[in-house]
Amino acid sequence: MHFLNRWRALWNPDMYHGWGQQRRYFEGWYFKLVSADEQAALAVIPGISMAENGEKHAFIQVMDGKACTATYHRFEADLFRPNPRKFALSLGSNFFSKEKITLDLPGLSGEICFENPTPWPKMLGAPGIMGWYSFVPFMECFHGVVSMQHKLIGQLNLSGETLDFTGGRGYSEKDWGRSFPRAYVWMQSNHFDSSDQASLLASVAHIPWLGSYFIGFISGFWLDGRLFRFATYTGAKQRLELSGDSVSLIFKNPKTELCILAKQAPGTALQSPISGEMTGKINESLQATIQAELLENGQRIFEGTARTAGLEVAGEVKILL
């Protein structure tokens, strides 16, 4: 039964992949919620942690991107109940899927529905954003995109205050495997000043590989119903520069080019996986800004600045340069 569940999940990255896993394993989903007026920005991260000694627990991590605070809610592992046939996860009285989340946590409760999710399109031999790397069994960390962009409907009660997210925008992704990369840069936003039909995800990371390593990258720019891909497996090229609080990234395909300049902003510490155990620390901001320019056949087809951007610059980032 575990084999069948794992096989089904292989072709559906948003589903749970950890069937039969007992140790040195983590899996987590990331839901970004931003209100229409951008005065509220939360990241809600449910997941499961399996340590090297076999100890397990489930969790829901919540980051308030405006207050720069984070809370970690721990659950017994047997309360983590994924659906084997689709992405639907119950964790105690909390629920997560690609259509909605329901929260019943100390200081945070309510329900947010997702309207018109934008999944990463499947291709032959590429079930998700990782392309053919999805089929490599020894990868340290796998990544999936549940929805590049969607509208939000609903309210949450945060410490007695009602936050109305109706009309706001959301984004959702996930990770699974053993550990987060030794070093990586990750950024995301769908709040560009020049278009409400644009969403950006970009990441560069240290990837262990057969006793050595390489610097891998994946990026997607969704614009007016089109997805522009830049990734190691597409043969694209990338250049990363870090200077002070600035992150400069350039991705190039034969016909397209994406230029990014991101600025770091105040953030907060989140717990992250090391050999399956949530003992690491990373700093994430939901107040970063990202300038982006997209060229096709040498012509600029998009230029804009994104607000309320997620940004992580984590680990020994000099090895990425």
Residue tagged 């984070």 (tokens): 70
134: CB partners within 8 A, 6+ apart? 10, 13, 126, 127, 128, 142
Check residue 144 and give its pLDDT: 97
CB 27 within 8 A of CB 176: yes
Instruction: Note the pLDDT tens digit of each residue in 77-92.
Output: 999 999 999 999 999 9
What number is the average pLDDT over the span 16-23? 97
Q: What is the pLDDT of residues 299-315, one digit of tens each?
A: 999 999 999 999 999 99
Comparing C-alpha atoms, which of 73, 26, 75 is closest to residue 280?
26
**Domain layout of the chain by residue ranges:** 2-320
- Looking at residue 12, its pLDDT comes to 96
CA distance 81 to 101: 14
181-204 burial, b for 16+ CB within 10 Å, e for fewer?
bbbbbbbbbbbbeeeeebbbbbbb
Kindly report, residue by residue over 188-246, the tens digit of the pLDDT.
999 999 999 999 999 999 999 999 999 999 999 999 999 999 999 999 999 999 999 99
Rounded to an integer, the average pLDDT of 245-253 is 97
276 pLDDT exceeds 90?
Answer: yes
CA distance 184 to 215: 9
CB of 58 closer than 8 Å to CB of 91:
yes
**Tokens linked to 74:** 């721990």
Res 124: pLDDT: 81
Is 310:188 a contact under the CB 8 Å cutoff?
yes
Strand partners, 188: 201, 310
Q: What is the mean pLDDT of the chain?
A: 97
Whether the Cβ atoms of residue 255 and residue 297 lie closer than 8 Å to each other: yes
Q: Is the pLDDT of residue 256 over 90?
A: yes
Q: What is the pLDDT of residues 108-133, one digit of tens each?
A: 999 999 999 999 998 888 899 999 99
Q: Mind listing the pLDDT tens digit for each residue in 257-272?
A: 999 999 999 999 999 9
Res 1 pLDDT > 80: no
For residue 159, pLDDT beyond 90? yes
